[in-house]
Amino acid sequence: MQQSSAPGAPSPLTSVPEPTRQEERRAVVAATAGTFIEWYEYGLYAFVAGLVIAPLFFAEAGSFAVLATFATFAVGFVARPVGGIVLGAAGDRWGRRPVLMFSIVLMGVATTGIGLLPPYAVIGVWAPILLVTFRVLQGFGAGAELAAAMIFVNESTRKQRKGLTSSYMVAGTLAGSILAVILFTVISASLSEQAFLAWGWRVPFLLGAVLTVIGLLLRRRLGESPEFERVEAERRAGRIERARTNPLAAMAAAFRANPRNFAAGFLLPSGLNVTGFVAQAFGISYLTTQIGLSSTQTLVTTLAMMGVGLLALLFWGWACDRIGAVRVLYIGALSGIPLAFAYFALLRTGELALIILASIALWSVGWSAAMAAQMVLLPLLFRTEYRGSGMTSSRELQGGLVAGPAPLIASGLALALGGEPWLVAGFIALAHLLTVIGMVLGRPLVSSDDIADTPALAGLRPART
């Protein structure tokens, strides 16, 4: 990411008062708690996909049950761009806070619905139909949640701490997923296989209803971000036009404003998204069906991977404020390529200790470093007045076309080689190369003052004015 080609592109930080420590803390806590809850709910499906969903909801699919399961996993990501486009435009029109409130309600309703859904043996074909419906609702809500929270925190934190505070927020997503793994590990270890399949797996989904209420109470106290308030003031003064109500028109306007950065917003998340969802959803299925680990061993592996990854995420957020987010992003993307092949080589040994080590290494570098850096860099590809539309739609289009189908693609690639994982490793490596291309392509809209005042922006060049 070097010099911007966008003429007259002002810094998104220009003329915005620095948030106080208390304002920053309130914004980070509320956003982090919300993402914790929402990604606990959204992550539940990834952990039960290979263990529960296939036998309960696709029993008639036979050998294609796992593929059908991951197809419904992908459906949630197909809905994410729709949610991102619609709710991203709403965030530019009416504010970041209403979007954060709406998305958490939608996710809570869908997650509770999955927890109450009867299996195929009880209601027949309606079971997979309703499952897909709830996955669509989950995807629609999640399509704006993380991006909206990312934007909100980025616009509400002090310049000296952009990397670390942003990593706190996204650590909430990982902590939510870890809670889901812990619950499934404890429940599956405590119950017989029959009891777990009959009702045990539903408990974490139903807990989502309680967590949703907690999230709503926390987010009720949120105000708007200082940057959005500044844009609203300029709109009222007639210096900036009102945001478009039509979400497709809003997305098109964001694309026309800077096609290069829109493309970069699409490409940048590729490596971390494919790494994350292959390691989570496909990895769990692969370890149980191909390597022969028990469900408890598989969940313990996933818990170790994500637990260490959470600590690594905070470290990389701290590193962004020391060496710059661009350098951290390169570390994650370039390291992810060899780690993908090492990961599957160690998985194939069947040794639990080596499998855990491989999972931790891939996640802590290939996922965590890239995620921490993108919390800082992605919002800067778009000006504040169209940031919701531009960033959310570009990022979630990538999720629908690349990240969501990743476990399904990985399953198909492994099936094509009779269970051999090397095409899957190549798939992860290709995704990291796409991230590198996005890094080269992107031109963040920052000024020389921003770069001087914000340590996480080290390595960037100011936009042309």
User: Do the beta carbons of residue 336 and residue 271 sit within 8 Å?
Assistant: yes
430 Cβ contact partners less than 8 Å away, ≥ 6 residues apart: none
Question: Is residue 55 exposed (0-12), middle (13-18) or buried (19+ Cβ within 10 Å)?
Answer: middle
Segments in 95-159 forming alpha helices (H): 96-116, 120-123, 126-156
User: 């958490």: which residue's tokens?
Assistant: 104
Query: Token pair of 88, please?
Result: 């991203």
- Report the distance separating Cα 391 and Cα 412, nearest Å: 30
User: Do the beta carbons of residue 60 and residue 119 sit within 8 Å?
Assistant: no
Query: Token pair of 442, please?
Result: 């992107």
DSSP 8-state class, residue 241: P
User: Do the beta carbons of residue 164 and residue 325 sit within 8 Å?
Assistant: no
CATH class, 21-457 region: mainly alpha
Please list the pLDDT of the chain residue by residue as tens digits (465 residues). Answer: 544 433 334 444 445 667 777 777 778 887 887 788 777 876 677 667 667 777 777 766 555 666 677 677 677 777 878 888 898 888 888 888 888 888 888 888 888 898 898 888 888 878 888 888 888 888 888 777 778 888 888 888 888 888 998 888 888 888 888 888 788 778 878 888 788 878 888 888 888 888 888 888 878 777 788 888 888 888 888 888 777 778 899 899 999 999 999 999 999 999 998 998 888 778 777 888 788 888 778 878 888 898 899 999 999 999 999 999 999 999 999 999 999 999 999 988 888 999 999 999 999 999 999 999 998 999 999 998 899 899 988 988 887 788 778 888 888 888 888 778 899 999 999 999 999 999 999 999 988 888 888 899 988 888 775
Q: What is the pTM of this model?
A: 0.81
Question: Which candidate, 66, 41, 54, 43, places its Cα nearest to that of 197?
Answer: 54
pLDDT at res. 132: 85
DSSP 8-state class, residue 63: G
Domain boundaries, the chain: 21-457
- Helix, strand, or coil (residue 172): helix
pLDDT at res. 60: 64
- Report the distance separating Cα 290 and Cα 293, nearest Å: 8
pLDDT at res. 140: 86
- Report the distance separating Cα 226 and Cα 197, nearest Å: 48
Helix axis angle, 387-398 to 247-257, nearest 10°:
90
DSSP 8-state class, residue 59: G
pLDDT at res. 329: 95
pLDDT at res. 192: 83
Neighbours of 49 (CB within 10 A): 21
For residue 464, what are the CA distances in angstroms to 3, 6, 170, 457? 7, 7, 31, 16
